Amino acid sequence: MKTNISIKLSDDQRLNLAQKYNNTTNKKLLTRKELNDIVLNFVEELFESNGSVRNTTKRIIENGEWTKIHFYEGKRMSKEDYDKMPDGPRKFYGFD
């Protein structure tokens, strides 16, 4: 199923997410592609979770578990292995 979910974000929200996504303090706003990466990886993590969607989301919010995870060609990997991969669409942000 392909979805077309409408998410309305203010510039302040886009800046906040972009700084978290890119781990920087620059003023570049979040792009649609970056938001798509965040959402796709959130959904992927829900598939791998043993808990309910609400419990998993609550755990993330309460524990501040929003850290960078690394994927290349759809496979999750360590930062060390990720850094060895060739450049390309391989950087994803999610929670661990």
Contact 13, 20 (CB under 8 A): no
How far apart are alpha carbons 76 and 69 in whole angstroms? 7
Tell me: pLDDT of 8 over 90: yes
Query: What pLDDT shows up at residue 92?
Result: 58
- The domain ranges of the chain are 11-84
Tell me: pLDDT of 18 over 90: no
How sure is the predictor about 34, in pLDDT bands with cuts at 50, 70 and 90?
A: confident
How sure is the predictor about 1, in pLDDT bands with cuts at 50, 70 and 90?
A: confident
Query: What pLDDT shows up at residue 91?
Result: 54
pLDDT, tens only, 68-83: 667 777 777 777 787 7
